[in-house]
Chain A
């Protein structure tokens, strides 16, 4: 019963969806203000989701079950990751061993759901989007995992979120050290790519491949994907806080750190043009992997 409450209400499905949609609104509002526009009202993203639920679902001919299952898989794994992360901040001692690995796997699932859904929708542009998404996953997972490994080495080899938070609470945040700072910079860019934000949004480019993997989705299924993106937008900064900024977990500091990370993501989004997929791949496997490798080495020699 308690587990169900944690998964469905707080800090799982309901909470992460609400906060995620509010963050998506904040993203749109900050974007609008940067472009000297007024921007949408705060309930805009909720309205979008409600509207999508009332729309017709169009099913392309010859699609398999994956077309329907992929949105649900994406949403439920993202919310499960949100629930585990939220619990590990609220009560660090409750977390189980290896939940960091579980969260990393769960946070890859939305991208895989996009690939599955896009390629099962049998649209040529969707398959272009799916192949780009696949390359993006290959590109950003390497530096992201390397920077997570740097954190693990730094925190005495623990793969438990709760003890990472505890160690940071006792001996200072990871970002305060040289290795942590290097890993943090590369993880920020990986977060940008995981969220599908602008320099790395080639897989969903509205202007060139018309929505990419989402092109054939309409109505409630599209709403599921939009919710998945919102939950990812809620979860990724939270993961970075747990890994790098876990010194002070009182609510006020949490919210400040959180808003800082969200603002960084939105500012990167608004000040960069879209990269081609080969440029993105080169960026992640070149400078970012180098930076993450350096941070692993620095962590190994205890810097």
Chain B
């Protein structure tokens, strides 16, 4: 039964996409994954509108004082099991905003991040590769 659960969870990933204050480059690259060239719907990955339906939360952008409470709220609203994916250098390490006055910290200091996708912005291939690695980890690990 455990394997059926993991198989279903990894074969149908519904993605909720949040921008925590990014420059929109990462967001555009995320949408590129759904274009005919990459077509992640092959793997059952879908963008959905409500966080209540989400299996994965993609977070882009640097965490500032305004967005941190919202990110925490969004994570609490998602039904578990739900993974958090940090997309782009800003979410990973705050990039060039590191010394800015309203930065709180990188995303993994705030939420439990399962997958890091570096890049500014990351290429769609990098995101698909990252998802593959996460799927392998979930299937093999548990």
Contact = CB atoms under 8 A, between A and B. Distances in A.
Interface of A: 28, 32, 35-41, 44, 47-48, 50-51, 54-58, 206-207, 209-211, 214-219, 222
A36 B36 contact: yes
B28 interface: no
Contacts of A54: 5, 8-9, 81
A58 B81 CA distance: 12
Interface stretch (B49-57, B91-99, B120-128): B49-57
Given A32-B39, A51-B9, A51-B55, A58 B44 contact: no
A37 B49 contact: no
Given A37-B36, A39-B41, A56 B50 contact: no
Nearest to A226: B53
A210 to B, nearest CB: 4
18 contacts: A32-B39, A35-B36, A36-B36, A37-B41, A38-B39, A39-B41, A41-B44, A47-B11, A48-B44, A51-B9, A51-B12, A51-B55, A54-B81, A55-B80, A207-B49, A218-B53, A218-B79, A219-B79
B77 interface: yes
Contact of A218 (B4, B39, B52): B52
Interface of B: 4-5, 7-9, 11-12, 14, 36, 39, 41-42, 44, 47-50, 52-53, 55, 77, 79-81
A250 B52 CA distance: 44
Contact of B80 (A40, A56, A209): A56
A128 B5 CA distance: 34
Contacts of B4: 50
A195 to B, nearest CB: 19
B8 A215 contact: no
Most B Cβ at <10 Å: residue of A32, A51, A222: A51
A248 B102 CA distance: 71
A215 B52 CA distance: 7
A56 B8 CA distance: 14
A54 B59 CA distance: 24
Most B Cβ at <10 Å: residue of A39, A41, A55, A215: A55
A216 B52 CA distance: 6
A222 B48 CA distance: 13
A39 B50 contact: no
Contacts of B8: 47, 50-51, 54
A58 B49 CA distance: 16
A37 B53 contact: no
A222 B36 contact: no
Most A Cβ at <10 Å: residue of B7, B44, B48, B55: B44
Contacts of B77: 58
A36 B36 CA distance: 6
Contacts of B50: 210-211, 214-216
Contact of B12 (A32, A44, A206, A214): A44
A206 B14 CA distance: 13
Given A40-B41, A48-B12, A217-B52, 15 more contacts: A32-B41, A38-B39, A40-B42, A41-B44, A44-B11, A44-B44, A47-B8, A47-B11, A54-B8, A58-B77, A206-B48, A207-B49, A214-B50, A216-B50, A217-B53
Contact of A58 (B36, B41, B79): B79
A58 B78 CA distance: 8
Rank and list the top 10 A-B pairs by shortest CB-CB distance, nearest first: A210-B49, A206-B49, A51-B8, A56-B79, A50-B8, A218-B52, A211-B50, A218-B79, A37-B39, A215-B50
Most A Cβ at <10 Å: residue of B5, B42, B52: B52
A48 B48 CA distance: 13
B7 to A, nearest CB: 8
A40 B41 CA distance: 6
A44 B8 CA distance: 9
